[in-house]
A and B are shown apart, each in its own frame.
Chain A
Amino acid sequence: MNKLSPATQATPGTAPGDNSTAAFDVEKIRADFPILKQTVYGKPLVYLDNGASAQKPRQVIDAMNDLFENYYSNVHRGVHWTSQRSTEAYEEARQKVAALVNASSDKEIIFTRGATEAINLVAATWGRQNLGPGDEVIISHMEHHSNIVPWQMLKDEKGFTLKVVPIDDDGNFLLDEYEKLLTGKTKLVAVTHISNALGSVVPVRDIIRLAHEKGALVLLDGCQAVPHMAVDVQALDADFYVFSGHKLYGPTGIGVLWGREDLLNAMPPYQGGGDMISSVTFEKTTFMETPHRFEAGTPAIAEAIGLGAAIDYVSAIGHDNISAHEQGILQYATERLSAIDGLRIIGQAKEKASIISFILDGVHAHDLGTLVDRAGVAIRVGHHCAQPVMERFGIAATARASFGLYNTRDEVDVLVNAVEAGKEFFG
């Protein structure tokens, strides 16, 4: 079930998820993350909640400290040295994001508070301008609430139809059902690139090709994708792509909307204020072009710079290496968890990222979360802000282990032992 990435297959002789390979030294990486030295309840912290938020390497912390200690100022408005230096660093971060997703220009990168705001931005601007009665928007059954609720809210305002692509029992996106839902009235397809609750990798290339044949645009929620795989928005031929900084080892409070430049420049502003105008009189205001049109007010300067440092960090390691390492961990964890009697993995899609949702007979996920916490293991329990997914599988909650670039097979063993002990505790 777990398709290995080409990079893993290309390194024969190395066990998947080995703690150390020539290309990828996990111990060296772990040393970059100060929090991984932390102990909780006297035990080493085993952080397996990367799908909710990832930890930060020293390089990100240092980049933000460096700003505050050495050159901090507001951006885009000062003639003084600190402002020029801060502006350069902020705009350099934008270039780093552009390079990360292979945008054709850094003008296509808009900084937001997070992925949620990025989706809301598209809904409030492009959506409000282009959607009305008779139109259709398509989402999938495994969206995070942040890619459901903004469209529902806009639907109530504009009166279009919201359609939902079903998934199968393994958590695969049903492409043929999607094709049936697509019509000439479909204006937008807004789907996740990788499911946060199930780990399923969604066939976005096919989704985009089919949508474009009908003249619909496609927005991808890439929150769970950018930490795990290389993303190329031009190769995908996407129209909008959003992700958050904090899941990519960067700070909270910063996210990204990438959009095609022609689309962005045709969209009305999001919020009004300073930094987004060319000129203001009481009679008329002219707006700047993208990206500044969509970045009213003082932005999250330190957070953008921190995200830039995070991108430098993962780029230096290489997405192929990260992907190969994580696929190894995923495979190992899937095997070990599946071997526990009464444990059922929810979401066994053909292609998965390193996210494992599971339930255990007789033990509610919330109780399991409290138990493994005492073994030092941090996992997410609950509905993962994807209640329709839980409803699809007829469950209220799952436990979810989501692995990042610093996780090891030893940590999987700690999780498995804790789950087994938890089972015994409630047995």
Chain B
Amino acid sequence: MFDDLRDLYQEVILDHGKSPRNFRPLENPSCLAHGNNPLCGDMLVVYLALDADGRIKDASFQGEGCAISVASASMMTEILKGKSRDEAKHLFEAFHDMCTKDDFDLSKLADYDEDAVERLVMLSGVKEFPIRVKCATLAWHTMQAAVSGEQDVSTE
């Protein structure tokens, strides 16, 4: 019945949705932010620990959401580790474009590790489900708010 949904709900996404990685608070976060999707009531907190150079040492999240938003948050925390703030911002912008634009040029991400890019491409399957783009980007919006020093962000 749901064959055509496999592009959205790939095995890796289902796995991260069910068993999210880094699903815990950080004890001494450098920054954190609350993300809220008022459309569906999803809420999550993203925690970041930065080193002296502003690189992301550790990233985690907690909250409640659909499989897409939890998987996206889970994968994001893995992807972000070791990235600078600028790289995190760049990845977010690239991911957002991937989810919303048809003509995204993957070569823009040539500097990044293949694994990270592959995961982002997988999540960008939401492009075919416009109402779900906010689910996939909520964690990223929240991360962006955290590094910019904002406490709360809403995708509405």
Residues of chain A having any CB pair with chain B under 8 Å: 41, 362-367, 370-371, 374-375, 381-383, 387, 390, 396-397, 418, 421-422, 425-426
Interchain residue pairs with CB less than 8 A apart (29):
A41-B4, A362-B18, A363-B67, A364-B65, A364-B66, A364-B67, A364-B70, A365-B40, A366-B65, A366-B68, A366-B132, A367-B9, A367-B67, A370-B5, A371-B2, A374-B1, A374-B5, A382-B40, A382-B41, A383-B41, A390-B41, A396-B42, A397-B42, A418-B1, A421-B1, A425-B9, A426-B14, A426-B18, A426-B67
Contacts of A422 in B (CB 8 A): 2
- B2 touching A425, Cβ below 8 Å: yes
- Tell me the bound Cα distance from A425 to B17 in angstroms: 13
Beyond A364-B65, A382-B39, 7 additional pairs, beta carbon < 8 A: A41-B4, A366-B65, A367-B66, A367-B68, A397-B42, A421-B2, A425-B2
Residues of chain B having any CB pair with chain A under 8 Å: 1-2, 4-5, 8-9, 14, 17-18, 39-43, 64-68, 70, 129, 132, 135
Contacts of A363 in B (CB 8 A): 67
- Tell me the bound Cα distance from A28 to B112 in angstroms: 61
- Tell me the bound Cα distance from A89 to B135 in angstroms: 46
- Tell me the bound Cα distance from A426 to B8 in angstroms: 13
Q: How far is the CB of B96 from chain A (nearest CB, A)?
A: 20
Residue of B nearest to A397 (CB): B41
Q: Quick one: which of A370, A374, A397 has the most chain B CB within 10 A?
A: A370
Q: How far is the CB of B42 from chain A (nearest CB, A)?
A: 6
Pairs of residues from A and B, 3 with the lowest C-beta to C-beta distance, nearest first: A366-B66, A364-B66, A383-B41
Contacts of A374 in B (CB 8 A): 1-2, 4-5
Q: How far is the CB of A414 from chain B (nearest CB, A)?
A: 11
Contacts of B17 in A (CB 8 A): 367
Q: How far is the CB of B155 from chain A (nearest CB, A)?
A: 13
- B132 touching A370, Cβ below 8 Å: yes
- B135 touching A366, Cβ below 8 Å: yes
Contacts of B70 in A (CB 8 A): 364
- B1 touching A396, Cβ below 8 Å: no
- Tell me the bound Cα distance from A31 to B42 in angstroms: 39
Residue of A nearest to B42 (CB): A396
- Tell me the bound Cα distance from A426 to B70 in angstroms: 14
- B8 touching A383, Cβ below 8 Å: no
Residue of A nearest to B43 (CB): A396
- B14 touching A370, Cβ below 8 Å: no
- Tell me the bound Cα distance from A375 to B3 in angstroms: 11
Q: How far is the CB of B71 from chain A (nearest CB, A)?
A: 10
- B64 touching A396, Cβ below 8 Å: yes
- Tell me the bound Cα distance from A383 to B37 in angstroms: 11
Residue of A nearest to B64 (CB): A396
Contacts of A375 in B (CB 8 A): 1
Residue of B nearest to A364 (CB): B66
- Tell me the bound Cα distance from A426 to B9 in angstroms: 9
Partner of B41, one of A362, A371, A396: A396
- Tell me the bound Cα distance from A374 to B5 in angstroms: 8
Partner of A397, one of B1, B5, B40: B40
